[in-house]
Amino acid sequence: MAKPEPRTQDASTPVVWLLTDNKPGHRNQLKGLGNRLRVLAGASTYWVDASTVEVPLWRALLASSPRMEASLPRPDLVVAAGSGTHRLLLALRKRRGTRTLVIMKPAFPLSLVSGALIPAHDRVQPGPRVLLTEGVLNTITPLARITEKREALLLIGGPSPHFDWDDDVVLGQISHLIGQYPDWRWTISTSRRTPEPLQDRLDDMAGVRITVVHPQQTHEDWLSHQLSASRAVWVTPDSMSMVCEAATSGVPTGLFELAARPGSRVVDGVERLVRDGYVAKWTDHASVMAGRADHNQSLWEANRAALWVIENGLLPKSHKTNQRLPKGAQP
């Protein structure tokens, strides 16, 4: 049930439990925060699969902790992402010396936990227990240097409730980019949501300058490695996580153009990133390909969130917590 990250454990090391429902997007947010807490606070992180712990509703309501695996050290902080983890988080909230933190907007009152990390587009009122994040947390670390090689990465999603997906529109924009920049090399990465007809048409484009990568051909660190080798990134806007990962890398990032559906909080979040200059619209593709950035801020929300956790006393302070915020970021 519990899987510690490799680190030597001692009595002075803060302990963080990461409650997971094993959904990739939720796990990615937990890992991004956990990685930064390990660096900034010297924490040891332990994965807890919430599906393996039976939590009746009464335990969540009464904050009555279930029996946990004996090998788990006592936690200083318990972090949860995904509704499937919330009963366990609430049941653990009154363990002595333990703080609780929820990622993303929960259905329960925020007063029941020590803190919350919530995307600004979820329209939650800010408060002393709440950090509003730009988009979602992820595991990407901003690059110190962008390659000068003319290599671009295209991240292709698929139909979603937030945008009107159109295979022909996406393919037309991909073809336009490749035609406009014939001396570039292109890596096209699709996802599990990419429609099969579009996947087949993209496969037909593969050649000397174009590599098409299916999701099953990637591994956990594939995206970070590919971003470090890219001078420009283009992303379909249907996936907030993909958009945020690309923007966090610091590689000039542009969005393919799809018609947005009204009232979508994800659309609002993507538009915030555009407005703040973290990503560019399709109409600004010349600026993206030229490597020009219109802002001096860096988007590294996992780091900002970890600093907020430490500064708000959710983890014991240590000599490693005096690191500075990235340029332009605010706690």
Q: What is the pTM of this model?
A: 0.89
Whether 79 contacts 37, CB under 8 Å: no
How large is the average pLDDT for residues 271-281?
93
Residue in 324, 322, 311, 305 with CA at minimum distance from that of residue 31:
305
The CATH classification of domain 2-139+301-321, taken from the options 3.40.30.10, 3.30.70.330, 3.30.2310.20, 3.40.50.2300: 3.40.50.2300
H or E stretch covering 19: strand 15-20
- 317: pLDDT strictly greater than 70: no
Q: Which two tokens stand for residue 79?
A: 């972090």
Q: Which two tokens stand for residue 318?
A: 């240590």
CATH topology of domain 151-290: Rossmann fold (3.40.50)
Within the chain, all domains assigned CATH 3.40.50.2000 are found at: 151-290
How far apart CA 51 and CA 22 sit, in angstroms, is 9
pLDDT in tens, 68-90: 999 999 999 999 999 999 999 99
pLDDT in tens, 101-126: 999 999 999 999 999 999 999 988 88
Within the chain, all domains assigned CATH 3.40.50.2300 are found at: 2-139+301-321
- Residue 190: the pLDDT is 97
Whether 25 contacts 244, CB under 8 Å: no
Please name every residue paired with 47 in a beta bridge, in sequence order, or none if there are none.
3, 18
Q: Which two tokens stand for residue 291?
A: 């490597």
pLDDT bracket for residue 323 (50, 70, 90) = very low
Question: What are the distances in angstroms from CA 58 to CA 61, 82, 83, 107, 120?
Answer: 5, 19, 16, 16, 32
How far apart CA 316 and CA 319 sit, in angstroms, is 10
- 227: pLDDT strictly greater than 80: yes
How large is the average pLDDT for residues 15-31?
96
Q: Which two tokens stand for residue 234?
A: 């283009």
pLDDT bracket for residue 320 (50, 70, 90) = very low
pLDDT in tens, 135-179: 999 999 999 999 999 999 999 999 999 999 999 999 999 999 999
Alpha helices by DSSP H, 181-314: 196-203, 222-228, 240-249, 265-275, 285-290, 301-311
